[in-house]
């Protein structure tokens, strides 16, 4: 068990209540458990506070709460603070360092220190794996590829040849990095696959979810910028350039040769067509298709994508159309009566 005072020290928080209170685990705010600590990510969840059984709660500096016997730790960023507390009570399993007997590793590959390589892993010629890397079972690392320090490549991942993966990168199961893009040349009614001789560059601190497809560049590269986070089942096509700090939610896609600026957010099931640019800090709402270049800071929605606020006003007018139609018909009837008289 860990005292509130130690937890507060870890997350640089201010304690309101019993600083000697002992905590044994984390819990959700809704419901909660005794001797556990929870958090309020946003003020809209504060209504769960009074009835929660949790003995301690991490909250924002300006969050207003009713009086209770709970102990409070105030911080600037509750979700980030709670993430640190989670690691304190439920640390990630430490992989056993070593190379499994069934792994197939080329004699020309370079393997760093404190590396964990699981069963049936295949590491091809001239691969360079840095220190403290984890590679899960049944994963393949293609020739001439590199993986930076402290990266984690989970089970059943396919990294093709000539792919560069940075440090502190996490790639989840089922993802393929470096397959040929969907390039087709048609001649006399026959479709021919385009050769893809480029690469993929995944910069530091990138996270990629399960079953994603990151295609290699046709001649140069496809790039995922540092600190970007990709959800599950995402398609990044050949020659796409994803800036730093981007967030792309599940079932989204970026078509070929498109450039996403820094800190772009793509909500679930959104898409961007090829050969356009999306400026820095743009937000693309769920189920949106971007068909034209977006200026920095744009917030768009719909198919095709339009300014979100303008679209909401348009939809408000559309919702009034049935009533407007009734009024027009009523006026037409009155006009017909006047004409007959």
Catalytic residues: 238
CA distance 307 to 291: 13
Nearest to 269, CA basis, from 286, 284, 285: 286
Alpha-carbon span 1 to 35, nearest angstrom:
9
Q: Report how far residue 336's alpha carbon sits from residue 341's, in angstroms, rounded to the nearest whole number.
A: 9
Residues 246 and 263: beta-carbon distance below 8 Å: yes
- Both tokens of 267, joined, read 């909500």
The rounded distance, in Å, linking the Cα atoms of 127 and 211 is 23
In angstroms and rounded to an integer, the radius of gyration of the C-alpha atoms of the chain is 27
Could you check whether the bond before residue 184 is cis, i.e. omega within 30 degrees of 0?
no
């Amino acid at each position: 068990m860990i005292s509130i005072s130690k937890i507060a020290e870890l997350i640089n928080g201010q304690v309101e209540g019993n600083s000697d209170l002992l905590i044994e685990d984390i819990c959700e705010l809704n419901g909660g458990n005794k001797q556990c600590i929870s958090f309020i990510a946003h003020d809209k969840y504060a209504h769960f506070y009074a009835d929660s059984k949790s003995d301690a709660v991490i909250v924002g500096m300006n969050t207003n709460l009713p009086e209770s016997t709970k102990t409070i730790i105030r911080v600037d960023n509750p979700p980030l603070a709670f993430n640190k507390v989670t690691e304190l009570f439920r640390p990630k399993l430490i992989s056993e360092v070593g190379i499994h007997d069934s792994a197939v590793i080329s004699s020309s590959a370079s393997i760093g220190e404190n590396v964990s390589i699981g069963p049936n892993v295949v590491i091809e010629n001239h691969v360079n794996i840095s220190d403290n890397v984890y590679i899960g079972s049944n994963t393949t690392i293609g020739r001439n590829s590199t993986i930076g320090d402290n990266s984690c490549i989970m089970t059943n991942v396919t990294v093709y040849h000539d792919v560069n993966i940075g440090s502190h990168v996490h790639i989840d199961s089922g993802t393929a990095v470096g397959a040929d893009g969907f390039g087709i040349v048609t001649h006399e009614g026959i479709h021919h696959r385009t050769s893809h001789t480029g690469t993929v560059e995944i910069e530091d601190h990138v996270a990629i979810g399960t079953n994603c497809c990151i295609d290699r560049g046709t001649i140069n590269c496809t790039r995922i910028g540092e600190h970007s986070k990709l959800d599950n089942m995402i398609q990044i096509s050949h020659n796409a350039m994803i800036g730093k700090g981007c967030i792309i939610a599940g079932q989204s896609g970026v078509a070929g040769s498109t450039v996403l600026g820094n800190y772009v957010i793509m909500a679930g099931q959104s898409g961007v067509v090829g050969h356009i640019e999306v400026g820095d800090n743009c937000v693309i709402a769920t189920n949106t298709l971007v068909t034209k270049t977006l200026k920095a800071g744009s917030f768009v929605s719909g198919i095709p994508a339009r300014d979100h606020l303008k679209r909401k006003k348009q939809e408000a007018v559309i919702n009034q159309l049935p009533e407007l139609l009734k009024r027009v018909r009523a006026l037409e009837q009155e006009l017909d009566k006047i004409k007959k008289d």
